[in-house]
């Protein structure tokens, strides 16, 4: 899709935009899922406690309709009616609590827990008549109208079919004893409500993916917005370059601090310098603890000279170690023999410095065959 002056929202929302929208209370919501959850939870509650509930309702009706002539006195009538209404509230309270709890938990299935104080702040732009007309005739509003029509047709059709199939049983209730008729009628009502619940669940199964898609669609960004966000979060190129230089300098300083722990510095002799260390008790093989070229190589040699670390000229080995071994990693097996020759010479040199005797000579380092050449000497 071609952009028009960079205003086309063709880019998916970034994590930052999604996070900011969530902080503002803009999360995907499905009213259909809430309705299905409330009705489904109430139907389940009636299914498991229907017998006890209908017995309690029958007892309440008997008490409400059983009164003496004294209860007809206006002063007593009000207290009698209040007591019965309070009893009805106690009967309905568990069912109401189940519905409220289901309605509160249903949104968590779509968007998780999201509390935003910004969503509670007044937004006076919503009071604008023009903005209201735009929302009324927008595509989302038309979609909501279509959804409402489909919901009415589907739920109404399912309800009519369920009642039509139960019509003979409903007519036969008049022939049953009152208590049995109440229990039987309650079971029929529960079956009809269960059918309505299935219809609402089917609607919610379509609405939830649509709401998730619509939420991401509304938060889409233009390319300019994406570039601006990246620039804001990462900084300008100059700032990033300065940060990289600072990080590189700190890394080089830490690396130079490790040079005094080296057993030898293998050089080429001006461009490359690689510091290696080996501790038979802690290491499986010699390890590269510092390396560099040109100025860094010169700095490594200077630190080595100050701490009297042996500097061994072995150009092919220095180049191979610099290219093939990452910092603070062990040398590969194919370079074991060459590094062992260098370390053997270093240990002999250390013995000579401590005890005297014949000065050792650095032998020719045997490099593996087919080692790729390097243009720098």
Q: What pLDDT, on the 0 to 100 scale, is given for residue 2?
A: 41
Contact 200, 22 (CB under 8 A): no
Q: What pLDDT, on the 0 to 100 scale, is given for residue 164?
A: 82
Q: What pLDDT, on the 0 to 100 scale, is given for residue 17?
A: 82
Contact 301, 259 (CB under 8 A): no
DSSP secondary-structure letter at 376? Answer: -
Q: What pLDDT, on the 0 to 100 scale, is given for residue 206?
A: 87
Q: What pLDDT, on the 0 to 100 scale, is given for residue 73?
A: 63
Q: What pLDDT, on the 0 to 100 scale, is given for residue 134?
A: 63
The residue extents of the domains of the chain are: 15-114+125-221, 240-355
Q: What pLDDT, on the 0 to 100 scale, is given for residue 5?
A: 44
What lies within 8 Å, CB to CB, of 254 at 6+ separation is: none
Q: Is 240-355 a CATH 3.40.1690.10 domain?
A: yes
CA dist., res. 306 & res. 310, Å (int): 11
| DSSP assignments along 312-357, one per residue | EE-HHHHHHHHHH--TTEEPPGGGHHHHHHHHHHHHHHHHHHHH-S
In the structure encoding, which two tokens stand for residue 281, read together? 């008790």
Q: What pLDDT, on the 0 to 100 scale, is given for residue 376?
A: 46
In the structure encoding, which two tokens stand for residue 188, read together? 């029929």
| DSSP assignments along 108-160, one per residue | HHHH-----SGGGS--GGGG-HHHHHHHHTSHHHHHHHHHHHHHHHHHHHHHH
Strands (E), the chain: 264-267, 272-277, 287-293, 311-313, 329-330
pLDDT tens digits, the chain, 377 residues: what are they? 444 444 577 788 888 888 877 777 778 888 888 888 888 888 888 777 766 777 777 677 776 666 666 556 666 666 766 777 787 777 778 888 888 898 888 888 877 666 655 555 555 555 556 655 566 666 777 887 888 888 888 888 888 888 888 888 878 877 778 777 767 777 788 788 888 888 888 888 888 888 888 888 888 888 888 888 777 766 666 767 777 777 777 778 888 888 888 888 899 877 899 999 988 888 888 989 889 888 888 888 898 889 888 888 888 888 899 888 888 898 888 888 888 888 888 888 888 777 777 777 777 777 776 655 444 44
In the structure encoding, which two tokens stand for residue 29, read together? 């919501």
Q: What pLDDT, on the 0 to 100 scale, is given for residue 130?
A: 63
């Amino acid at each position: 899709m071609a952009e028009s002056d960079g205003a086309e929202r063709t880019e998916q929302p970034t994590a930052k935009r999604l996070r900011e929208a969530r902080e503002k209370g803009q999360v995907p919501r499905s009213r259909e899922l809430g309705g299905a959850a409330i009705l489904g939870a109430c139907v389940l509650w009636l299914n498991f406690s229907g017998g006890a509930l209908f017995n309690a309702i029958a007892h309440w009706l008997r008490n409400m309709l059983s009164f003496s002539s004294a209860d007809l006195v206006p002063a007593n009538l009000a207290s009698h009616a209040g007591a019965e209404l309070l009893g009805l509230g106690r009967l309905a309270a568990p069912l109401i609590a189940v519905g409220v709890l289901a309605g509160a938990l249903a949104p968590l299935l779509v968007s998780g827990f999201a509390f935003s104080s910004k969503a509670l702040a007044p937004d006076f732009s919503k009071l604008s008549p023009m903005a209201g007309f735009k929302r009324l005739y927008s595509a989302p509003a038309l979609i909501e109208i279509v959804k409402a029509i489909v919901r009415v047709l589907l739920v109404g059709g399912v309800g009519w079919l369920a009642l039509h199939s139960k019509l003979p049983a409903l007519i036969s209730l008049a022939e049953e004893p009152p208590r049995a008729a109440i229990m039987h009628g309650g079971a029929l009502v529960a079956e009809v409500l269960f059918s309505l619940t299935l219809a609402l669940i089917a609607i919610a199964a379509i609405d939830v993916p649509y709401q998730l898609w619509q939420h991401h669609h509304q938060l889409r960004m233009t390319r300019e917005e994406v570039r601006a966000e990246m620039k804001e979060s990462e900084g300008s190129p100059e700032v990033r370059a300065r940060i990289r230089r600072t990080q590189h300098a700190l890394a080089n300083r830490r690396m130079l601090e490790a040079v005094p722990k080296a057993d030898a510095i293998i050089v080429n002799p001006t461009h490359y310098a690689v510091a290696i260390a080996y501790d038979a008790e802690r290491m499986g093989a010699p390890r590269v603890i510092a390396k560099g070229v040109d100025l860094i190589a010169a700095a490594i040699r200077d630190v080595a000279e100050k701490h009297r670390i042996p500097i061994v000229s072995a150009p092919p080995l220095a180049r191979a170690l610099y290219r093939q071994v990452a910092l603070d990693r062990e040398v590969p097996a194919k370079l074991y023999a060459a590094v062992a020759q260098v370390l053997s010479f270093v240990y002999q040199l250390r013995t000579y410095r401590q005890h005297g005797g014949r000065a050792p000579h650095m032998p020719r380092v045997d490099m593996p065959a087919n080692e790729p050449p390097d243009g720098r000497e």
